[in-house]
Amino acid sequence: MNCLPAVELLSPDGAEPTAAILWLHGLGADGHDFAGIVPELHLPADLPVRFVFPHAPKIPVTINNGYVMPAWYDILEMSIERRVDVAQLTRSAEAVHALIEREVARGIDSRRIVLAGFSQGGAVILQAALTCARPLAGAMSLSSYFPTAELVQQTAANAGLPVLVCHGSHDTVVPEALGRRAEAALRALGHPVQWQRYPMEHSVCLEQVRDISAWLQRVLA
C-alpha cells in the first residue's frame, strides 16, 4: 500500500496497539511537529495506541509568494473566507483514507481510529473523517477551520462521529471565528461536538493536552 511517509510512535509502555491516532501537522511543519505530545498525554497502560504523524508533500503555497514548503493544500488567500485549493485538500483527505486502510490491515478496528489535525491538518481531517467509508472513533480539529463544510458529502458510517474542536482566543493565524464556524457546521451536520477555548495564540497549551487526553480516553473506551 502506497502511503504518506510518517513518524510512528507507540504508547510509552510499548504494548501491542489496540487503537491508532493519525495526526496531521500544520502548514510548513512536518510529522515531527506533534511527536513530542505522546508522552504528555499520559494515556493509561490499558490503552496502547499507535500514533502516526504523516509528512505533507512539499508544494508551492500562493499566500507565501509561491514558496515551496510542506503543505496539505494550497491557500489562495488569507481573507476570513480562507479560499483554498479544494482539489488538493480532497487528495490529502484521500491520502488519510489510505493510512486508515493500512491501520485496518495491521489489525486495528476502524472504530478505534481517531483522526487529528492542527491548522491545515485539521481542515484535512474533517474532510477525511466525514467522507470515510469505515466508521471511526472520532476526529480532533485543533486551531483549524472547515473550508469544505458546504461541499462535504459525508458517509452514513460517520454520520454521528464525535468531534473535538479546540481553539485559542488570541489566535491571529486562524481566527477563533473560523473555529466557531467549524463547530456550528459540524453541529448542523449532526455531529456531537465538544468545543474547547483556551487563552492562547496559534499553538497548544498544557490544559488543552489534558483535555485531549480525557477526550481520547472517552472515545476509545
Ordered alpha helix ranges (H), 48-173: 86-105, 120-130
Instruction: Go through the chain and tell me how many residues it has.
Output: 221
Which helix H or strand E contains 6, and what residues bound it? strand 6-10
Identity of the residue numbered 192 = P
- Which grid cell sits at 61? 503555497
Sheet strand arrangement including 49-54: 6-10, 49-54, 19-24, 113-118, 138-142, 163-168, 193-198
- Residue from 153, 49, 152 nearest 106 by CA: 49
Choose among 111, 185, 109, 176: nearest CA to 142: 176
By annotation, the residues acting in catalysis are: 119, 171, 202
Q: Are the C-beta atoms of 82 and 145 separated by less than 8 Å?
A: yes
Q: How many CB atoms lie within 10 A of CB 36?
A: 9
What are the residues facing 163 on neighbouring strands?
139, 193
